[in-house]
Structure 1
């Protein structure tokens, strides 16, 4: 099992210890570091900043929001970072949700799977640099034409020759159709809330994608880089209480009341009643109460909390389920060093 350091996105202020965590993760043998974005800090700037102090670890995004950049702009950023890092970049992409896409980026959310497919195709054209980049659309037509354009747009190749003609792409996917799409067109899957209990279900969805004509990968060379909250402790109860506000935010606040893809993940796990109650409380601005009513077993389903032996055994369970990398968020160098001895 490989470990990746998930730095995430910033809260109200930038984190103050990411430099030392990145250095420690590389020294401890971690495979990768990842950054994220929501509607505050972006993913690429800190990844390049902290990545410049590394030599070996892969540098990934988990995830970039499609609507934040046109596909060519994303491909430009990726090929730039790939050059600067000596070929260590991983592009992790996700569609986000309508609340963010329409409310923050002012973009349309329709047909997220078709948009993802078109977006990735354009990026790969840029990196391959075999011909000027074109797309028939309908989501990202290149060159743009029509009555409201100058008519002067022309297909272009990137000026800079990419270091690699095929930078790895992973998809942050949560629903069955999107997970199948990841297996079909991507090099890996980035689940945010993963439970080994549903591994057979996930594998069915992945197998659907692997079986499609033209699928890029097979199960043997496809990566599953799952976000995993791992806490080594003898006080499970305290750790559960610390994790529950995070779960309440994603169940009740990350999306609209009727459209929340994160909440749907927990519904599929069998916690529909919990999701409904958490959502109602969170929307009523009773956030602390929303966190308190989450049962411990909900935390246990997608996190690993316990003593060293329990954590070691659970890591084996995740590995047996098909996870190739666990993306963890330790808060200190000491935690990084302890985790490195368990994988």
Structure 2
């Protein structure tokens, strides 16, 4: 079991302690530091900024959104960061949801699976640098031609020779088809709300992808890097109360009311009625009540909160379920050292 540090994305203001957290995580033996993006700070810039102070940890995005960049722009950012870090970059990708894709990026959301497959194919063409990059589309045709274009587009190779032709790609996926796609064409899976209780279901989805012709990986060399709240405490109730507003936001406020992939995860866990109630309250601007409607058992399904013996037992259970890396959010150096000591 490896450890990853999740810095996430910024809230209203830039964080003030991320340089310290990254330095402590590097010293404590963490394998990877991850950054994220939503509709504020981007993922690449902080990763490059803080990553320059590291020499060993891998630098991962968890996740960058497909619609934020064209495939070639994303490939450029990744090959640049991979060079700057000496080959320590991981590209974590995700499709986001229709509210963000169409409302923030002004892009079309339908056919996310087909778009992901095409996007990754183009990225790998850039990194391989075997030939000028082309794509028949239909989502990212290269070179672009037809009505409204000059017709002068030319297939190109990247000027820079990538340090690695095969930078690891991981997929942030929540539904069965997307998880299977991650197993088929990627090097890892980045679940945001993982529950070891549902491991048999996840394994079924993953095995479908591994069994497809041309699959890149097998279970033996595929990474599952699960983001989770891991808190050692003798005051479970207080920590639960701190986690619940975050879950209520994702369950009730992230995505459209009838299209929320995070909410679907908890429906699969058996919390459909809770999801409906949290969504109703959250969208009625009763966010405090929405958080209170989240039961403790729901928190326990995707977080580890308790005394040190309980946390150690749960980490063993997560590893037995197939998780290869626990990706934790830490607010202090003490939390990082505490997590490292657990392993």
5 Å-filtered alignment, 1:118-267, equals 118-267=118-267
5 Å-filtered alignment, 1:251-330, equals 251-330=251-330
Q: Matches of 1:267 and 1:27 in 2, distance apart? A: 39
Provide the secondary structure at the position in 2 that maps to 1:90.
strand
Q: Matches of 2:160 and 2:108 in 1, distance apart? A: 31
Q: Matches of 1:30 and 1:330 in 2, distance apart? A: 12
Q: Matches of 1:100 and 1:151 in 2, distance apart? A: 31
After superposition, the CA RMSD in angstroms is 0.4
- The CA deviation string for residues 274-318 of structure 1, in whole angstroms up to 9 with x for no partner, is 000000000000000000111100000000000111111100000
Provide the secondary structure at the position in 2 that maps to 1:294.
coil
- The CA deviation string for residues 143-183 of structure 1, in whole angstroms up to 9 with x for no partner, is 00002110000100000000000000000000000000000
Q: Which residue of 2 aligns with 1:80?
A: 80
Structure 2 unmatched runs, 5+:
none
TM-score w.r.t. structure 1 length? 1.00
Provide the secondary structure at the position in 2 that maps to 1:19.
helix
- The CA deviation string for residues 213-270 of structure 1, in whole angstroms up to 9 with x for no partner, is 0000000000000001001000000000000000000000000101000000000000
Provide the secondary structure at the position in 1 that maps to 2:342.
coil
Q: Which residue of 1 aligns with 2:71?
A: 71
The offset of 1:115, in angstroms, is 0.1
Provide the secondary structure at the position in 2 that maps to 1:78.
helix
- The CA deviation string for residues 318-340 of structure 1, in whole angstroms up to 9 with x for no partner, is 00000000100111001111110
Q: Which residue of 2 aligns with 1:32?
A: 32
Structure 1 unmatched runs, 5+:
none
Q: Matches of 1:250 and 1:146 in 2, distance apart? A: 41
Q: Matches of 2:45 and 2:160 in 1, distance apart? A: 20
Q: Which residue of 2 aligns with 1:52?
A: 52
Provide the secondary structure at the position in 2 that maps to 1:8.
coil
Provide the secondary structure at the position in 2 that maps to 1:334.
helix
Paired positions, count: 343
- The CA deviation string for residues 7-64 of structure 1, in whole angstroms up to 9 with x for no partner, is 0000001111000000000000000000000000000000000000000000000000
Q: Matches of 1:37 and 1:330 in 2, distance apart? A: 17
Question: Moved runs in structure 1, 4+ residues, more than 6 A?
Answer: none
Provide the secondary structure at the position in 2 that maps to 1:337.
helix
Provide the secondary structure at the position in 2 that maps to 1:122.
helix
